[in-house]
Structures are given as C-alpha cells and as structure tokens.
Structure 1
C-alpha cells in the first residue's frame, strides 16, 4: 500500500457527515473528506492492491474487528493517551446523543450490554484501537491488505478501509443496533454457543427443536445456525424454547458443550427482519465507496466488489448467518510454504484470535491483539 493511501486510511476518523436527511449531526471542526483526498492525491497505479502485490506475504498485515459480546466496562482506557482518541469519542457522542466514553469506561455493565449501546461502543473502541496501532506501528496500517469484522465489526472494517466515513458508519450502526434491540424485545429468543464434534448433527438438531416448539403452539418457530465459528463450533439462534430443548438433549446430537450467550435476541435469523428496512434505508442515505483494501463479507466470506454490493450484503447480514470460519479460510488460504500475513485484532477481547487459532494454527502464530483496557507497549508478534 502506498504511503498516500495509508495516510488516507488515517483520515477516516474525521470524514464528512451523512447526506442531508440521513441525520442531524455534524462532523467535528476541521473534518477531512477521505474520499476526496484519495481522488485528488493518489494516482491509480498506487492503489493498494497493486502496491501490496510487490510485498512478501510476511510483510503484509490483516486487521480483524470484533463484534457484540466483546464489550467490557473499562474498554477504551488503554487508548486515551493516543492522538485524537478523545476527539473520536467526542464526535461519537454527538452522533449518538449520549456520552459513549463515560459508558464504556464506567458502565454499568448492564447498560453497556444493551444491544443499542454495545454495538456503537464496540465499533468506536475498535476504530480507536486502530488509532493506537497507527501511532505505535504505522507500518501495519501502511501494509494492510485485508480486513474483516464479525457482525457489527464489519462496519468498523469498512470504515477503516475507507468505504464509509466514521460519522456515517456510526450512524448506520446506531440505527442497526436500535432496530435489532426492538426486534429482540418482540419475542423471547436468544443465541446458544455449541461446541460439537465431527459427528454432531446441527441441521437435524435444529429441525427437531423447531418441531418441539410447534408442539408447544409456537407458530413458525426459528432455530438455525447463526454463526459458523470454527470446525465443529456453531452458534444457534432462535426461540428460547428451541434453545432450551437443544441444551436438554445435547447428548442426542453429540454436542460436547452448550452455553447461552448474554445477548438479547436471535441475531442473524429471520426474527431480525424488523431491523431490515431501517438499516437498508440508512445505507441508501449514506455515501458508500469502494474499499481501499479488501474487506470480506460475513454473508459469504468473499471480498466486497463495489458499493452496491456493500449496501446489499450489510442489510442481508442482519438475517443471515455469519460465516466467519469460511472468511478465515478465504483470508488465509495459500500454498504450502507461503508466509502468512501479520494479523491484528483491533478492539475489545481476544475472541477472534482464539477462533483463528482453531481455524488456522499457522496463521495464528502471527497474531497480535491491540489492548484497549490498559496502556501497554507496542503489540508484538507473540500471542
């Protein structure tokens, strides 16, 4: 990636606000239009994909952005000493209408865990972690060739890649989170983490769980795989009665371990359909651009191709499974003996690193996490 493009990636924090009608917020003083900067300053021959091709894989980097469930009170404390992070949170509070930094640092946890709050909080903390990474290891940003984000983390990945300005991306996350919170409150539902075995029968288990719900008088019950994490590990979403049935009968389906997740609803299933229209509407209202680096979509694991593709799949993602295992295979597939890129998880928690270890041990050996809770030294290459 050229230095000019790397500088452009740094400018997303102060991007232009939403188009008229999308919201009533304004960008902070001195805002920079990252798209215009790229158009005016970067010749076509210096675009990142061509430049990256001249680097060895071991010199390149990949950024992973976590999703809902990684939030923890205190996140952001380890980022405040770095340039512009406080301004980033101040800009976020103007978009959201409440003090996001105060909520992130001091909670309470119950408030931070609410879908409407935690999605914006994880989004902003992840992009603030990018600012820390840029300050400590600017070459990582300059040499970045790809990014991916888990669920709401996909919005942060796209903002990092220049496909959206920060304020626009955060506003879309706000609308998404509030709509998903509302959909969650419409019916008792949830998500169940399932660690299985090669002989586990996920499809058959979900079918029998739905049939069980029908005997209880539940019409059109939902129970399906919502997240593909790593081999033999899935998250199943649906009606609470269906998930309770799976827990009670886990041995029948060769499940090794099950655990209810602390979320408010059955995300990434058709129970989230009420959130589709609000999200699709805001995605049409904001300016979506071609990413500067490859960003992989949750819906199919493949890189986004163009802005229309981004709008379509970001909306569909709300009611579709997150194919994270497939994304990991797509990101790290390479010939035997080829070096792996350096991978950085930017945001709270290390869940994506743990998943990467289970998907591709060799790729994980070049994994690092950017700490967001406490100030630390530059992230190294030893997990």
Structure 2
C-alpha cells in the first residue's frame, strides 16, 4: 500500500500558506509534489475496472457507440435508465452497513480502507458524526457508499444498470459517475478523492469560508446581495472577498458560498434584498468558488497520474451540464469543478429534456440520502414520478 497522508497537514499547510501569499522560495510544482507524495496517489492504474460497477457484464463490453443508445428513436425511454450520484452533505451515521451483504460492495470497503488508512465501513456505520462530517472523511465515504449502492441496484434491478443511457454526479458524486461509466478505475477514484478532499480542506484552512442555501422569489436581488456582501467585506479589510453562487439547485434556490463574513452579511439582510430564507450548510469551506483555487493544481496533477478511458455511458459535467466527449475532456474539465459553480439544475434539464408527450427514463439515485430525488421533483416533476432512491 502506498504511504498514507497522516502527516499531510503538518507537511503541506506552511507551504500552501506561503504559496497563497506568493511568499517563500519554493515553486507551485514543489508544493503540489509535496501534497501528492504525502497522499495515496502515484500508481498509474488501468482505467478499466474489475469491479462490478461497470454497466455491462464482464466479457460483453459493447462498442463505444453503444453510448448513443439514448439517441435511437425506436428505444422506449421507459426501458432505459439514468443514474444519479449524490455529493458531500448527504452522509449519515449508519450508511453502508446493509450494503456489505453484497460481496463486491464489501470488497470495495476493504480496498478503500487499505488505501485510506482507516476503517471506512466502521466510520460510516458507527460514526461518530463529527468525524464523518470532516471533508477528508466525508468525500471518500460518500463515493464508496454510492458505488456500493450500485451493486445493490445490480442485484435487485439488473436491467437498470444494463440499460443505463446517462449518468451524472453532484460534486464529488461525479467521480462515482465516472467509475460507473468505466472511465475510471475504482482504486484510482479512491486515491483521487483522497487528494481532492485533503486539498479542499487545506484551501479552506487558508481562507475560512462557508456555504448557505438561499431561497428567493422572482423579485429578489441575489446577485446584488452578493455584490454588496463583497463590498462590505472590503470595507472591513478583507482582501479579494469571495461571495458568489456555488450551486444552482432548482428554480429560486441556489447555494451561495464565500467568506464567512460575507455570508453573515447576506443572512442578516434578507429583507433588504427580498430573499425569503437562508440556511447555513454544515461544511468547512466555500466549495465551488475561487477560494478553492489552491486545491486545483494538486487535484489536476493527481488526475494526470491515473489512467482514464472514454466513458462507456454518457457522463454529464457539473461545470456546464454537458456530457464528456472523451477521456481528454474529463482530464481538462474535472479539476475546474472545484472552483466553478455546480450547475445541477442545468444538468437535469440536459438529462431530462423531452418533447411534449414523450415518456421519461427511469431514474435511480445511488448513494446516501434522497436529496437528488427531491431536487429532481422541483426541476421536473414528471421525471421525478419514475425516480427511485437506492440508499446506501
């Protein structure tokens, strides 16, 4: 097993702090190398996984143009499926413990635990919650539980896996979608999510931030509220304040992220900008904003060190809602996700847009919680009618 990252914070925090301020004699390449050498990434893996999360049975991989199935006019959409994978924030103590009844899922937890350096299944099943909620623990837990849920789906509804015509994942869930689509090896995904989570946590430590879900109406001024929040922070000496939309969830609901002071300003002035409600999320940073910039080079370099294949099933990107064209597109686009807003509402429109009168595919949310199903109801109630949660 490659070296773990127990010493990651003490090794990298000073360098990243100097890096963020342009100080010190080291280069960005040196900082990234230190992060990667301290993490469990470095073996170039075959993109084709032996795990049973691939959408086709072993030895029966179709030609690449099989992914165009969704465009065939004679296919009844009701005989096809779309798989959705949740992201950070859906975790709960007790998840995963029923999935170990499926042999491949049990193997996944064992291999992931070896890579991560701690008992992942015990953490998921027994907690404590505060430990599970930590970014560096939560992201691997959600990834593995989501892919283990696919094994449950494969046992209970095999046609849903074999007839999948598209997939997407929310934030870290996009890695699960890429594994399912055969573009990324399971072990490589665990190593990548390890670097991703630790780099995002370090970026959060450099610039304390947070995230708030905001509900608003057609006459609200959310954009102006973010602008005024940034100005308010500048007046108080905060350099380059961040406050922007980090996630488009559904009509009249977005997640705003940025410096803690900016979020407090918005939460304290809802009436001024005609905002209806704001709820702070239990996360440790301003994910999917410019404050995650220091995490991008580390994740991008880690991604370059693993093998990728072209997705066998269309995978839609959080960055723009469009599907990845090939492996090279994944390698370019995926790191951008860390500091760009999650365009989940736009992704759902791309997945479910149909001519009037046409039927919708069946949808399966694979992983902890039912958040994506709830969001789908707000975006497309007809598609939601045939959505099932395959809970971890």
Query: Which residue among 51, 59, 63 is the counterpart of 1:44?
Result: 63
Query: Which residue among 128, 138, 151 is the counterpart of 1:108?
Result: 128
1:284 aligns with 2:304: yes
Deviation at 1:257, TM superposition (A): 0.8
The match for 1:23 is 42
SS of 1:266's equivalent?
Answer: coil
What TM-score results when the alignment is normalised by the length of structure 2? 0.85
1:214 aligns with 2:262: no
Take 2:70 and 2:254, find their aligned partners in 1: how far apart are those partners? Answer: 37
Structure 1 residues 26 and 327: CA distance shift in structure 2, 3 A: closer
Take 1:223 and 1:127, find their aligned partners in 2: how far apart are those partners? Answer: 33
The match for 1:81 is 101
The match for 2:201 is 181
Take 2:214 and 2:325, find their aligned partners in 1: how far apart are those partners? Answer: 33
1:117 aligns with 2:134: no
Which stretches in structure 1 are left out of the alignment for 5+ residues? Answer: 1-20, 373-383
> What is the CA deviation profile of residues 184-236 of structure 1, one whole-angstrom value per residue up to 9, with x for unaligned ones?
11122100110111112121110000000011110110000000000010000
Structure 1, 348-357 or 47-56: larger mean CA deviation: 47-56
Take 2:229 and 2:247, find their aligned partners in 1: how far apart are those partners? Answer: 17
Take 2:203 and 2:172, find their aligned partners in 1: how far apart are those partners? Answer: 16
Deviation at 1:95, TM superposition (A): 1.4
Take 2:164 and 2:154, find their aligned partners in 1: how far apart are those partners? Answer: 11
SS of 1:67's equivalent?
Answer: coil
The match for 2:250 is 230
Structure 1, 47-56 or 158-167: larger mean CA deviation: 47-56
Structure 1, 339-348 or 92-101: larger mean CA deviation: 92-101
The match for 2:357 is 337
The match for 2:159 is 139
8 Å Cα contact 1:25/1:95 also seen in 2? no
Q: For the aligned residues, what is the CA RMSD?
A: 2.3
What TM-score results when the alignment is normalised by the length of structure 1? 0.87
Query: Which residue among 307, 319, 322 is the counterpart of 2:327?
Result: 307
Structure 1 residues 347 and 38: CA distance shift in structure 2, 3 A: closer
In the comparison of the two structures, how many residue pairs are matched? Answer: 349
8 Å Cα contact 2:53/2:147 also seen in 1? no
SS of 1:185's equivalent?
Answer: helix
8 Å Cα contact 2:108/2:148 also seen in 1? yes
Deviation at 1:42, TM superposition (A): 3.9
> What is the CA deviation profile of residues 10-58 of structure 1, one whole-angstrom value per residue up to 9, with x for unaligned ones?
xxxxxxxxxxx9436999xx957999x9997545387242487352111
Deviation at 1:285, TM superposition (A): 0.8
8 Å Cα contact 2:97/2:121 also seen in 1? no
1:267 aligns with 2:279: no
